[in-house]
């Protein structure tokens, strides 16, 4: 029986600096939990699916907040709210899709308190896992979603390995498309990880969805000017306009000169555990004019190898159509 009547107890720490937060994470390791906006964390705690002994509340660290425009692009503190990102004039001008993706997350109330780092690093949304079932991701030996009776409408089409959960974020595909870099700190120092390498699948480590371990702290995300001025596109398909996670979403960036695509990055979310870089579609459009025929061909190319589950076959044509629209309608 899963008990949901009360939140388990824990020690609460509220550091005032990144250094103090990193020291706490280093000391407590796997017994610790990083608290940002708290929307996802409190859900885990109330459902008793996560029972950390120590919670490190990051909200009192001013160095983790804010948006700074630099000569190389923009640097966004991990504790910056999604609303700030949605409304920031520099981001809206240079990296419109990032603002659009932030605006599609949940509801205005959640965007006001939800943070970029929290959204990017959130755990899988599979309800079996969230309900505390002993699935593979939780350390068990079953994937309850990948069974004849399993409810798997929101789950993976590609690269499932025991776990069929997908990346739940609207932000992550955009970060991969824009070649963002994740700044991570721990007691040993700082490292910068390409967004494409930051997200990991079950074949790498089924217990986590990012390259961070329990002693790491995401401090900032850097978006370079590489794709500033490019033709950008973002679209999310969900059951409802707000509050819902994506069934499938798409982010793309294309450099077009004289009507011909010179460079392209196309990334899909909601179809595997990590944002799926669609290199085949990128190759289809490079050197061509993004006409309806080219867009259709790009869409058709991305579904090869898809392995739908009992209830998510609809994602195959949906993914193809989103890619086609991204190629055709990028502005």
331 residues of the chain, pLDDT tens digit each:
455 567 889 999 999 999 999 999 999 999 999 999 999 998 888 887 889 999 999 999 999 999 999 999 999 999 999 999 999 999 999 999 999 999 999 999 999 999 999 999 999 999 999 998 999 999 999 999 999 999 999 999 999 999 999 999 999 999 999 999 999 999 999 999 999 999 999 999 999 999 999 999 999 999 999 999 999 999 999 999 878 999 999 999 999 999 999 999 999 999 999 999 999 999 999 999 999 999 999 999 999 999 999 999 999 999 999 999 999 997 6
Strand partners, 12: 55
**Three-state DSSP class for 78?**
coil
Alpha-carbon span 294 to 298, nearest angstrom: 6
pLDDT at residue number 3: 55
Sign of CA dihedral 273, 274, 278, 280: negative
Residues 6+ apart with CB under 8 A from 207: 137, 139
- The HSE-up count of residue 47 (CA atoms within 13 Å, CB side) is 15
- Confirm or reject CATH 3.90.550.10 for domain 227-329, answering yes or no: no
Alpha-carbon span 185 to 55, nearest angstrom: 18
pLDDT at residue number 48: 79
Residue that the structure tokens 């195959």 belong to:
316
pTM: 0.96
Alpha-carbon span 190 to 196, nearest angstrom: 18
pLDDT at residue number 7: 84
């Amino acid at each position: 029986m899963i008990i949901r009547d009360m939140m388990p107890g824990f020690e609460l720490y509220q550091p005032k600096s990144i250094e103090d937060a990193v020291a706490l994470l280093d000391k407590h390791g796997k017994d610790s939990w990083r608290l940002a906006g708290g929307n996802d964390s409190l859900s885990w705690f109330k459902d008793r699916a996560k029972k950390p002994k120590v919670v490190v509340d990051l909200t009192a660290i001013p160095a983790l907040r804010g948006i700074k425009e630099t000569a190389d692009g923009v640097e966004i503190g991990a504790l910056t709210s999604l609303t700030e990102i949605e409304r920031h004039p520099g981001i809206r001008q240079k990296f419109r899709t990032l603002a659009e993706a932030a605006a599609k997350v949940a509801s205005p109330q959640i965007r006001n308190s939800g943070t970029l780092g929290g959204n990017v690093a959130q755990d899988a949304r599979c309800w079996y896992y969230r309900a505390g079932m002993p699935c593979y991701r939780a350390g068990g030996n079953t994937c309850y979603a990948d069974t004849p009776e399993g409810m798997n409408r929101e789950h993976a089409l590609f690269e499932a390995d025991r776990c069929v959960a997908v990346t739940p974020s609207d932000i992550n595909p955009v970060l991969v498309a824009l070649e963002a870099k994740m700044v991570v700190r721990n007691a040993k120092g700082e490292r910068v990880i390409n967004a494409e390498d930051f997200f990991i699948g079950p074949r790498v480590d089924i217990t986590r969805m990012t390259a961070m371990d329990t002693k790491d702290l995401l401090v900032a995300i850097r978006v370079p000017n590489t794709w500033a001025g490019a033709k950008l596109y973002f679209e999310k398909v969900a059951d409802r306009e707000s509050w819902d996670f994506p069934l499938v979403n798409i982010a793309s960036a294309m450099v077009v000169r004289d009507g011909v695509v010179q460079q392209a990055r196309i990334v899909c979310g909601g179809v595997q555990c990590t944002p799926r870089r669609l290199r085949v579609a990128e190759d289809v459009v490079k050197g061509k004019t993004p006409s309806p025929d080219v867009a259709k061909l790009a869409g058709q190319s991305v579904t090869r190898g898809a392995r739908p589950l009992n209830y998510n076959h609809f994602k195959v044509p949906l993914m193809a159509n989103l890619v086609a629209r991204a190629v055709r309608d990028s502005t």
